[in-house]
Structure 1
Amino acid sequence: MADEQTQDAPEQEQNSTVDAVTGEDLAARVQLLEEQLVGAQDQALRVAADVQNVRRRAEQDVEKAHKFALEKFAGDLLPIIDSLERGLELSDPANEGIRAMREGMELTLKMFQDTLKRYQLEAIDPHGEPFNAEHHQAMAMQESADVEPNSVLKVFQKGYQLNGRLLRPAMVVVSKAPVKASPSIDEQA
């Protein structure tokens, strides 16, 4: 029996060593799997965030496409409005011979303007306002003592915005301060 106990002792030592190695190995594997799980969760969060960003960008692109789909079409209509406005400016309202035609042009222009407003196309008519380089295009500068320098004196052509985006700048004449004349020779004497 002593021989059996002696034989069992080395076997128990060997099993406890195997258990110890297996326990350490198992702990290392668990730690490795936990690290991989954390990495996979992080990657899944990043992928979900990327998908959400792509979806948001796509929604914004669709919204912009709807919002500005009329941009080219509206731009093509602006010369027609300009022509109607010029025709009304050049025609004499007192002339009875063209009164019916003038009224027709006024109604047509009003219908055009109302339609454009419905689609968020707004006119920029800056007469008397300060010059704004973002919405106005200065065609000339003119001296004026009557208004502040850098104010719009005259509008050659109205500008337009579509949903807040500049479609065409207003073409304007901008005021500048009058140049002080240098004293003449007679005044100096």
Structure 2
Amino acid sequence: MTENTHSTPAPDDQQAAAEAQNDMLNAQAGTPEQNLEAELAELKAKSAELADQYLRAQADVQNARRRADEEISKARKFAVESFAESMLPVLDSLEAGLAIKEATPEQIREGAEATLRQLKSALERNKVIEIAPAAGTRFDPHQHQAISMVPAEQEANTVVSVLQKGYTIAERVLRPALVTVAAPK
């Protein structure tokens, strides 16, 4: 008897291999229900991930808003600190001047002028700048407030006189200068 070295699978083996291959394909591809369940599970996981990301983003926004509110509160609370420090020498000068009981009018005037210089310096350090338009300056409604129009020899709508100086703080009008303006001829 000769032995056959090359064997062909038996029909039962071929059928079993085909079924195994189909089972593998079905396991990979799955039945439509299995595919839908897998897709649903994937979408649920993605939804949960996005919900988590959303909640974290919301928390980050709330924390940022809270920190900004705290910083604004601190800035408001301590913004006047520098200004107050600048005013203390002026206060000291006024108190020292008032403490002198037998001051002469010249001494009082000299002390008042020195205190005024201190006050102006303190205001300028804190960006409070004087608005004092000269006569003949064009009227600027952003920096001046016209109290009245008067007949004058100068061009119409120009400042005739300053009744009260105005002030700006950091380039924003704190108080406009009160002026009289030349009336049109």
TM-score for the superposition, normalised by structure 2:
0.56
Deviations 1:7-51 (A, max 9, x none): 4423422322322338x959968x969x77x968x969x779958
Amino acid at match of 2:173: L
Q: Is the aligned partner of 1:135 residue 2:143? A: yes
Amino acid at match of 1:2: P
Counterpart-to-counterpart distance in 1, 2:62 and 2:162: 49
**Structure 2 CA distance for partners of 1:67 and 1:157, relative to 1, 3 Å:** farther
1:2 aligned residue (2, 11, 14): 11
**Structure 2 CA distance for partners of 1:104 and 1:150, relative to 1, 3 Å:** same
Alignment of 1:107-146 (within 5 A): 107-128=114-135, 129-146=137-154
Deviations 1:148-171 (A, max 9, x none): 211111111111122222222211
Counterpart-to-counterpart distance in 1, 2:78 and 2:159: 30
Q: Does the Cα contact within 8 Å between 1:145 and 1:177 map onto a contact in 2? A: no
2:22 aligned residue (10, 13, 25): 13
Q: State which structure, 1 or 2, has the greater radius of gyration over its C-alpha atoms.
A: 2
Give % identity.
30
Higher relative contact order (CA 8 A, sep 6+): 1
Q: Give the superposition deviation at 1:66.
A: 7.7
Amino acid at match of 2:19: P
Unaligned runs of 5+ in 1: 78-96, 179-189
Q: Give the superposition deviation at 1:137.
A: 1.4
Deviations 1:100-125 (A, max 9, x none): 43333322222221222122211111
Counterpart-to-counterpart distance in 2, 1:113 and 1:162: 13
Q: Give the superposition deviation at 1:64.
A: 6.2
Q: Does the Cα contact within 8 Å between 1:68 and 1:162 map onto a contact in 2? A: no
Counterpart-to-counterpart distance in 2, 1:65 and 1:137: 29
SS at match of 1:138: strand
Q: Which residue is equivalent to 2:173?
A: 166
Unaligned runs of 5+ in 2: 1-9, 88-103
Counterpart-to-counterpart distance in 1, 2:121 and 2:67: 33
Number of matched pairs: 153
Amino acid at match of 1:123: E
What is the RMSD of the two structures over their aligned residues, measured on CA atoms? 4.6
